[in-house]
Structure 1
Amino acid sequence: MTAYHPLPRRRVLSGVVAAVLALPLALGACSSDDGAADDGKIELSFFWWGGEARAQLTEQALALYTSKHPEVTFKKTWQANQGYFDKLATLTAGNDAPDIFQIDDNYLAEYATRNVTADLSEYTKSGKIDVSKFQKGLVDYSTVDGKVAGVAMGENTQGLVYNKAKLDAAGVAVPTTGQSWQEHITWAKEAAAKAKIAGTMDPSADYKAFWVWLRQQGKEFYNGSELGFTQADVQAWFELWKGARDGKSTPTADVIHEGNATDVTKQLVVTNKALTSWVWANQLPELQKNTKDDLAVIAYPGDASKQWARASMYFSIYRGSKHKDVAADVLNFLANDPEAGKILGTDRGLPSNLDIRTQVAASTDNEAMKETIKVMDELGKNFGPAPTVPPKGHSTVRSELIKAAEEAQYGRATPAQAAEQFFAASQAAIKR
């Protein structure tokens, strides 16, 4: 464990509210925390989202750190995903934000460009936060404007989860990595006819599916702070899936709408309304909990090398924390300590440290988790370079894709009209 030396502190975050983002950074200088207490004790505030299971695991890992470093304790706060970033905005506005906070790629660039997150480059370069066992793409996908804005606490990539049990029962060959998108749609039509269940969820509203497809066309979702695709690209994407719906490869619009929900329990592969769902590969274990059928996961259609090591979520340190060195040591511990790795498992994604990942795979009796790690390791051999972290406005772009795609799915708009709607809304979102 690396030594640490307390530094000046300040309290977190900019959020989604424009007025909050415009607050002067000097506001944080008024923090009520004056540093270490007279007895040498240091309390770090720690904020994350997730369910009760994640809360328990996180608290256990932090308690382990305190057992090894009794001078460091934690003020722990967690809540469900809904409203989390609104709370961060409120904490920022009230000058009462945490030393360490969980964040994802929807907001990382936004917070980093507002100078909310500490630049962790000095720690990663010195090894005080050891990223030597991380996939290179995970480090790249944590970097904004040349500064490391967070530490990836889990890795995932896009995954096509399919119902192996129902396909086997119907005598249908399972989908395979390397099929083209049209081949997958044709497979889905044939599978639906035999299994009497829609062959594939329609992912036209799914930004990660669109992103992979774009990369396979030589495009990107973003080029810096600009869109990396054209309106014509969106139209081609929507037309691809209109053809799939017309050909009965997918369910009806009402069922597709159910699958557009982010709730794992509502994914069509576990509600028996489609034979596949388009998710993150690390979600396989959670999906498996919700069905008695055996599930499996492969890469998305097309060239799998266009997928990348994506940080499922990060921990960042507030730029004004008075205990940056201590906070960095905590992040290094959570990412690289074998005992902590065993506690945290794959709750936030597959462990970023590949050695810890191997340890978790060897020690777990969760077959879905083992399968996920195996697939991720296999895909990782061919990962291409990670794209840049999405710019501010990305969360709005994601929402606008769902709106436009559903207009096309329900037949309220043609692919061309839906593409025009999404492209205009996306341009407005990232220019705000």
Structure 2
Amino acid sequence: MSGTPRRRLLATALAAVLLAPLAACGDDGGESPAVDSTKPVELSIFWWGGDARAKLTEEALALYTKKHPNVTFKKTWQANQGYFDKLATLTAGNDAPDIFQIDDNFLTEYASRNVTLDLTSYQKSGKLDTSKFPESLWKYGVVDDKLAGVAFGENTQGLVFNKTKLAAANQPLPTTGMTWEAFIDWAAAATTATKVPGTQDPSADYKAFWIWLRQQNKDLYKGKELGFTAQDVTAWFDLWKGARDRKATPTADVIREGNATDITKQLVVTGKALTSWVWVNQLPELQKNTKDELGVVAYPGDPKAQWARAALYFSVYRGSDKKDVAVDVINFLANDPEVGKVLGTDRGLPPNLDIRASVLGSVTDAAMKTSIEVENTLGKTFGPSPQVPLKGHSTLRSELIKAAESVQAGKATPAQAAEAFVTAAKSAISK
């Protein structure tokens, strides 16, 4: 996650103090101009992404202005690095953009601080139409019974593997539905056959831990508390210690490298492991960075534990004096067919299923087609969405990495590291 924990904590604390008057004044925040008004309206909108996303988003916003000439946009975007530090600073000064992009690492935090507008009334009135969204997808934007963000892009967990190296060694490919034990057996055999570690060790990966928990009828969070115990974490760390002992994974230093690198340098791309634990929609980006052919399946275990995760959301600033127009813009971006063709799959699979179907027919990239096919296949068995992660989720993620790496390096036993992680995680979500 971008920025230092200290900077983020300071910004969050400052925001909480400065937003207190806003939280006390209700949802009004000033009269919002009517959507069909001819009065000039300038909306500010902030998102993260690269040049390609910026171009597509600007094209989509231009379509809205074409249909509503009185509405223009003050557009700001930047790379993911530092995005949430800047958003925290803007909200701390009551200067947040009318519309901003956010993800599930921070949605609860911003909703609990009354930064995000509750969109429930707009949804119920039809002004925000989610009727063509998978139910579990839009519900993954609900925090404390309030719709805090509109899902833009569906995604789920994906195990990406190197088809080329496995085929060259006459090794079977991993499949959806393998048990965790069977997968580790497969990875150990693949290591022997290819001389490349069969899998990146995911003990530090919160996505993999989360799926594994759901397969044990538990969860990452339960209400305002953790949904797991130190005993659960110990079992998870023990599972992967056994895998490392069998040479199914790389050595600790290489595992750490895989934990720390960005998507373009995952071990499945650099040739240091045959599989990496990512999101399904990241397959195309991985494929761009290797000449080997890659494939993707669900994480091990029962695939029903996976869910329609919002790749990201758009939220409306609760203090905006242009709320109605801001909501109409989000509704337009999510449901207009012409916009759907422009935005494509840049933010994940379109949330509107009708638009998704029309967009998928125009996809030509082989890796993107594969990721879409896998997502759609898994979508038939998705379980209900878990609750959106609690405030402190980003700290929990970093603490899991710290604990797992201490076990990988032999500095702590699984039980010791598990106790330390649970203590740190409880502290993180209670602040």
TM-score (norm 1): 0.93
The aligned residue for residue 23 of structure 1 is 18
Unaligned runs of 5+ in 2: 1-8
Q: Over the residues paired in the alignment, what is the CA RMSD in angstroms?
A: 2.1
Distance, in Å, in 1 between the alignment partners of 2:212 and 2:62 is: 43
Identity across matched positions, percent: 68
Distance, in Å, in 2 between the alignment partners of 1:54 and 1:198 is: 35
- Residue 414 of structure 2 is aligned to residue 410 of structure 1: no
The aligned residue for residue 114 of structure 2 is 115
Kindly indicate whether the alpha-carbon contact (under 8 Å) linking 1:15 and 1:89 is maintained by their aligned counterparts in 2: no
Kindly indicate whether the alpha-carbon contact (under 8 Å) linking 1:258 and 1:266 is maintained by their aligned counterparts in 2: no
Kindly indicate whether the alpha-carbon contact (under 8 Å) linking 1:15 and 1:86 is maintained by their aligned counterparts in 2: no
Kindly indicate whether the alpha-carbon contact (under 8 Å) linking 2:33 and 2:325 is maintained by their aligned counterparts in 1: no
The aligned residue for residue 347 of structure 1 is 346
Kindly indicate whether the alpha-carbon contact (under 8 Å) linking 1:66 and 1:72 is maintained by their aligned counterparts in 2: yes
User: 2:220 is matched by which residue type in structure 1?
Assistant: F
Shift of 1:283: 0.8
TM-score (norm 2): 0.93
Unaligned runs of 5+ in 1: 1-13
> How many residue pairs get matched?
418
Distance, in Å, in 2 between the alignment partners of 1:205 and 1:24 is: 35
The aligned residue for residue 424 of structure 1 is 423
Q: Counterpart of 2:165 in 1: which secondary structure? A: helix
- Residue 322 of structure 2 is aligned to residue 323 of structure 1: yes
Distance, in Å, in 1 between the alignment partners of 2:236 and 2:22 is: 45
Distance, in Å, in 2 between the alignment partners of 1:261 and 1:133 is: 38
175-184 or 407-416: which moved more? 407-416
Q: Counterpart of 1:278 in 2: which secondary structure? A: strand
Distance, in Å, in 2 between the alignment partners of 1:314 and 1:299 is: 23
Q: Deviations over 1:43-68 (max 9, x none)?
A: 10001111222212211211121122
The aligned residue for residue 215 of structure 2 is 216
User: 2:318 is matched by which residue type in structure 1?
Assistant: R
Distance, in Å, in 2 between the alignment partners of 1:295 and 1:342 is: 27
- For the structure 1 residues 189 and 383, does the alpha-carbon distance in structure 2 shift closer, same or farther, using more than 3 Å as the test? same
Shift of 1:168: 1.2
User: 2:14 is matched by which residue type in structure 1?
Assistant: A
User: 1:236 is matched by which residue type in structure 2?
Assistant: A
Shift of 1:390: 0.9
Q: Counterpart of 2:314 in 1: which secondary structure? A: strand
Shift of 1:199: 0.4
Shift of 1:136: 1.1
Distance, in Å, in 2 between the alignment partners of 1:226 and 1:312 is: 24
Distance, in Å, in 1 between the alignment partners of 2:76 and 2:20 is: 23
The aligned residue for residue 258 of structure 2 is 259
Structural mapping, 1:31-430, within 5 Å: 40-261=39-260, 263-430=262-429
Distance, in Å, in 1 between the alignment partners of 2:344 and 2:262 is: 21
- For the structure 1 residues 323 and 263, does the alpha-carbon distance in structure 2 shift closer, same or farther, using more than 3 Å as the test? same
User: 2:96 is matched by which residue type in structure 1?
Assistant: A
Shift of 1:35: 6.8
Shift of 1:128: 1.7
Kindly indicate whether the alpha-carbon contact (under 8 Å) linking 1:105 and 1:389 is maintained by their aligned counterparts in 2: yes
Over 4 Å off, 4+ runs: 32-39
Q: Counterpart of 2:186 in 1: which secondary structure? A: helix
Distance, in Å, in 1 between the alignment partners of 2:246 and 2:126 is: 54
Shift of 1:172: 0.6
Q: Deviations over 1:352-408 (max 9, x none)?
A: 112222222110111111111111111111111111111111111011001111111
Q: Counterpart of 1:368 in 2: which secondary structure? A: helix
Q: Counterpart of 1:177 in 2: which secondary structure? A: coil
Distance, in Å, in 2 between the alignment partners of 1:79 and 1:386 is: 29
Kindly indicate whether the alpha-carbon contact (under 8 Å) linking 2:19 and 2:94 is maintained by their aligned counterparts in 1: no
